[in-house]
C-alpha cells in the first residue's frame, strides 16, 4: 500500500467505506433484502419468504432468463467477431483510415441507446429487411450497442501488441493468415476474453433499446424486472434482479477464469 502512516491508512479506508458503501453496496443489499420479504413499511423489510425465488426460476421468469442469456451470448459473439475483424483491418489501414473506423464504431456509444433502438426499429420494420416482431431485432440492437466496446478494447490491445512477434513469424516463413491464427489471435486472447465479458455484461443489463423492440415471445429479463416493478410488484422484481445479477456475475467469473489461464506475461 502506498499510504504509510497508520492514520493515513485509516483515513483511506474510511473514505473508501463512505464512498463505496452508500453508492455501490447499500442499493444492492436493499434489493437482496427486498427479494426475501413480503412487506417493507418500517426501517427494515418484514415477512421473510423465499416464494419470489421459487417463482423467479420457473415459467415466464426462467424463459426471460434464457432469453437474456441467449441474446447476450449471441450478441457478444457477433460483436467480438465484427469488432476484432474491424480492429485488425483498421490497424492495417494506417493512421487516417484507423481514425475514421474508430469514430464510426464509437457512434453507437455516443448516441443514446433509446435512439439506437428507435433507429433499428424504423430501419427493420419494412420489407425486404423485416426483422420487427422477431428475436433477431433484439439481438441486432444489442450487437450494435456492444460492438463499440468490443472494437475499442481489441483495437487498444492490437496497438499494444509488439510488431516484432509478427515480424519474427513472417521471417520464419509464415504467411499473414498463419501469423494471424497462430500468433496474433493467441496473443490477443486475454483482451478478447475481457472484451467478451464486457459485451456480455452490457447486453445482460440492456433495457432502453430493448423496450422499443422486444416481441412478446422474446422478453429479456431486464424487461420483465421493469414490468414487474411498474406493476408495483417490487419484491418479485427484486428477486428477478438478484437472479439477473447472479447469472451475470457467474458468467463473468467463468470468463475471467479462462482469462487467467490465457495470460502469459
Partner 1 sequence: MTSGIRFDGVTVTYGSNTVLDSLDLTVEPGEAMALLGPSGSGKTTALRAVAGFVRPASGRVLIGDRDVTALPPYKRGIGMVVQQYALFPHLKVEANVAFGLKAQKVPKGEIPGRVAEALEMTGMAAYAQRHPRELSGGQQQRVAIARALAIRPRVLLLDEPLSALDAQLRSGMLAELARLHRELPDVSILYVTHDQVEALTLADRIAVMDRARLQDCGTPQDLYRRPRTEFTASFVGNANLLPVTVGAGGVSFEGVSLDVPVSEALPGAGATLCVRPHLVGLGPGPNALSGRIAEVQWRGSTHRLYVEVGGHRVKADVRELRETPPLGAEVTLHFAPDDAVLLSAGVGND
Contact residues: partner 1, CB under 8 A: 162, 164-165, 167-176, 178, 182-183, 186-187, 189, 264-265
Question: Closest Cα partner for 145 from 203, 99, 191?
Answer: 203
What 3-state DSSP class applies to 187?
helix
Of 59, 58, 55, 68, the closest CA to residue 218 belongs to 68
Q: Which is nearer to partner 1, 9 or 182 (CB)?
A: 182
Contact 182, 169 (CB under 8 A): yes
Q: Between 100 and 168, whose beta carbon lies closer to partner 1?
A: 168
- In terms of CB distance, is 95 or 175 closer to partner 1? 175
CB of 89 to partner 1, least distance (A): 18
The Cα–Cα gap between 144 and 149 comes to 10
Q: Which is nearer to partner 1, 133 or 186 (CB)?
A: 186
Report in angstroms how near the CB of residue 163 gets to partner 1 at its nearest: 9
Q: What number of other Cβ atoms are within 10 A of residue 251's Cβ?
A: 19
Q: Indicate the residue among 148 and 187 with the shorter CB distance to partner 1.
A: 187
For the four alpha carbons of 244, 248, 254 and 260, in that order, the dihedral sign comes to: negative
Q: Min. distance of Cβ 179 from partner 1 in angstroms?
A: 8
CB 261 to partner 1: min, Å: 11
d(CA 89, CA 62): 40
For 36, the enclosing helix (H) or strand (E) is none
Q: What are phi and psi of 7, to 5 degrees?
A: -65, -40
Report phi then psi at 133, rounded to 5: 95, -5
Closer by beta carbon to partner 1, 5 or else 260: 260
Smallest gap from residue 187 Cβ to partner 1 (A)? 6
Amino acid at each position: 500500500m502506498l499510504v504509510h502512516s497508520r492514520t493515513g491508512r485509516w483515513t483511506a479506508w474510511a473514505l473508501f467505506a463512505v464512498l463505496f458503501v452508500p453508492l455501490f453496496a447499500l442499493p444492492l443489499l436493499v434489493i437482496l433484502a427486498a427479494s426475501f420479504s413480503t412487506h417493507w413499511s418500517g426501517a427494515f423489510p418484514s415477512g421473510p419468504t423465499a416464494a419470489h425465488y421459487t417463482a423467479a426460476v420457473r415459467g415466464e421468469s426462467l424463459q426471460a432468463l434464457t432469453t437474456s442469456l441467449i441474446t447476450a451470448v449471441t450478441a457478444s459473439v457477433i460483436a467480438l467477431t465484427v469488432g476484432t475483424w474491424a480492429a485488425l483491418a483498421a490497424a492495417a489501414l494506417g493512421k487516417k483510415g484507423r481514425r475514421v473506423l474508430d469514430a464510426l464504431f464509437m457512434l453507437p456509444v455516443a448516441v443514446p441507446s433509446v435512439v439506437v433502438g428507435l433507429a433499428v426499429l424504423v430501419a427493420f420494420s419494412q420489407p425486404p429487411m423485416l426483422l420487427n416482431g422477431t428475436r433477431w431485432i433484439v439481438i441486432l440492437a444489442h450487437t450494435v450497442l456492444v460492438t463499440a466496446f468490443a472494437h475499442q478494447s481489441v483495437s487498444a490491445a492490437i496497438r499494444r501488441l509488439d510488431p516484432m512477434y509478427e515480424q519474427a513469424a513472417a521471417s520464419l516463413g509464415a504467411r499473414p493468415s498463419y501469423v494471424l491464427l497462430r500468433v496474433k489471435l493467441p496473443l490477443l486472447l486475454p483482451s478478447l476474453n475481457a472484451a467478451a465479458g464486457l459485451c456480455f455484461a452490457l447486453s445482460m443489463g440492456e433495457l432502453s433499446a430493448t423496450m422499443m423492440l422486444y416481441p412478446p415471445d422474446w422478453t429479456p429479463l431486464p424487461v420483465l424486472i421493469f414490468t414487474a416493478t411498474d406493476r408495483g410488484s417490487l419484491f418479485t422484481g427484486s428477486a428477478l434482479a438478484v437472479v439477473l445479477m447472479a447469472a451475470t456475475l457467474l458468467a463473468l467469473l467463468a470468463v475471467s477464469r479462462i482469462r487467467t489461464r490465457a495470460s502469459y506475461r
